[in-house]
Structure 1
Amino acid sequence: MDAPTLELKSALASLFECGKYSDLTIVCGAKRYPVHRVLLATRSTFFDGACRNGFQEAETGIIDLSEDDAEAVEHMVQYFYHLDYLNKKPLSRRSSQRSNRSSSPLSPRFARRTAPRKLNFALVEDPLLALVAAANISMPMTPPPDVHMFHNLDASTKMPDSPMADQFEDDDLESVLSEPDMDMDKAHLVTHAKVYAIAEKYGIAGLKTLARNKFAEQIDLHLSSAEFPEACEEVYETTFHTDRGLRNIIIQTFRANPSLSLRPDVEMTIRETPGLAFELFRMASGLPVSS
């Protein structure tokens, strides 16, 4: 992750962490999420409509989603500010501050740089990212003339009794950059199915694509888990038959693994899920699954 992207993601995360400038509240049961209209309305067709004048939510500043799955709502809110969900270590305001300090002209990390880094703007899709990247390019990337004064300090001055704060900051920043996604540790198939459904319901295209990709990545890794049949049932009960995002993944999985149907838990799910049973029947008969 490059510095401009990290800076932007850290800034978004800090907005949610501190709740600063929030002008809308999502309520789901006992949980309340202070959020920002501009972030939600520009990325969700539902929240765009809810934030317009004339709607009750726009007047009260409260959107009640208590009828939705609480876990899915939490991940949806997390996505708005972290561009992801189910992260092991989401970016925070503290990581943003570390990022800013690490690029200070007087920091050791900055002094080691010898040439400006060129960014490939063809890969920058978000206009906000482009602006941040342009600002980053315009910053001076060589040490100031008086940096050599630090080399004249004796050893006792340069070596404090405790480790330098920047050492901790650099280590923490690198851990943020390289922290693995906890998705692969255990099965989250049902969770991804729930997030996919809520993304479809509220018109959040980016979240829907993300949930589909996570579901596809995990289904092969956790094919033998007890969560697989539960996820199949969740998908066929929460999506329309015309929405093939997750359904096609499940059908392709059965096609590639015929022995799945012999598992007692999978067989029970097929018996209790008419939509899945019908599509598997069409697949076995050599007929097109979707019309």
Structure 2
Amino acid sequence: MNYTFSRYYLAFIRFRAQLFLIPFSYIYLPQEANPSISGKFLHKMSSSSEDARPRGPTKVISDLFLSSTWSDLSIVCGDVVFPAHKCVVCPQSGYFSRACNSSFIESSGKIVIEELEPIYLEKTLQFLYKGFYTRLSDMNTSPAVEFGHPSPIPSPIIRSLPYTTLSSVENGGLSKFHVHMYEQGDYFQIHDLKEKAKEHFKECFLRDLDRLFFRSTVNEVYCSTIETDRGLRDIVIETVLNDLPTLIDGTSTYLDKEDLKEMPEFTVDLCQASLVQNAYLMGIISECTQ
């Protein structure tokens, strides 16, 4: 094929893909096309084929997020009422499934949650409808990309919340935000939300984290999870062990004796992990010296 034909061929298969709603990455592109074109698109196809595959909630479900259209459930949290849809939230959440099966909820169509922050409930619903959640951004900023997805300007529900409430959430640090989302996954029994929060937490823990945030985040992890829930705890211990020289040395020490005293569960886990690591290293040294 010559260069001109390759251009027309690409335009044609793009049109066919759009016409039949077939992702462009599934269309075969001949190898003999101009290398400057085929190589570029073949690389794009191989690297983005997974992203092109439909997965998670469909666009129809995504568009129903915080929409009263066809809503058959109201979730009251504080002073905020969230419209929801049983067919979306119940299959994904053990909490909502059991709640909606009660005779009272069936008759009233309302769930009242008093012990949670409305902000985190909205982010939980965002995950159930869209398959991801975005971090709260400053009310005065424009949309930005958060966690690989466009972060829209905050919803009217979030806009209505007091600034002090928003500040208390944002000032907790990015790592702590994901700890809270992990809590929501546990509370509402949404396994995929816990996995997503754990993934984000691992990516950002200790990144640009000052001593105050470090102590607060570790304390939040251990206070919000039970001993057998190792999801976030293991990430904390693994990260601290890997960066221990940095954390206990230098001008801004992250860990001191007082911190270890005030977080006993963390201290025990850290000591046990250190012993296991030392035993492993001693075994390697012993093998090398034989």
Give the shorter-chain TM-score range: 0.5 to 0.7
Supply the AA of the counterpart residue of 2:101: R
Deviations 1:153-202 (A, max 9, x none): xxxxxxxxxxxxxxxxxxxxxx9xx85679xxx95111111111121122
Q: Does 1:75 align with 2:123?
A: yes
Give the stretch that moved more between structures: 259-268 or 16-25.
Answer: 259-268
Aligned alpha-carbon RMSD (Å): 3.2
For 1:13, which of 62, 75, 79 is the aligned residue? 62
TM-aligned CA deviation for residue 3 of structure 1:
8.0
Deviations 1:211-253 (A, max 9, x none): 0001011115334574232211111000011111000000001
TM-score scaled by structure 2? 0.59
Deviations 1:112-152 (A, max 9, x none): xxxxxxxxxxxxxxxxxxxxxxxxxxxxxxxxxxxxxxxxx
Partner of 1:270: 260
Q: Go from structure 1 to structure 2 and tell me whether the alpha carbon gap of 1:275 and 1:3 turns closer, same or farther (over 3 Å shift).
A: closer
Q: Is the 8 A contact 2:120 2:184 kept in 1?
A: yes
Partner of 1:280: 270
Partners of 1:18 and 1:224 in 2: how far apart? 39
Partner of 1:136: none
For 1:2, which of 52, 57, 75 is the aligned residue? 52
State how 1:40-119 maps to structure 2 within 5 Å.
40-54=89-103, 56-86=104-134
TM-aligned CA deviation for residue 64 of structure 1:
1.6
State, as a whole percentage, how many aligned pairs show the same letter: 26
TM-score scaled by structure 1? 0.59
Q: Go from structure 1 to structure 2 and tell me whether the alpha carbon gap of 1:240 and 1:5 turns closer, same or farther (over 3 Å shift).
A: closer
The structure, 1 or 2, with the larger RCO (C-alpha pairs under 8 Å, 6+ apart) is 1
Partners of 2:131 and 2:96 in 1: how far apart? 17
Partners of 1:29 and 1:78 in 2: how far apart? 18
Partners of 1:210 and 1:86 in 2: how far apart? 11
Structure 2 residues without counterparts, runs of 5 or longer = 1-50, 138-144, 153-171, 279-290
Partners of 1:65 and 1:249 in 2: how far apart? 30
Q: Is the 8 A contact 1:23 1:61 kept in 2?
A: yes
How many residue pairs get matched? 197
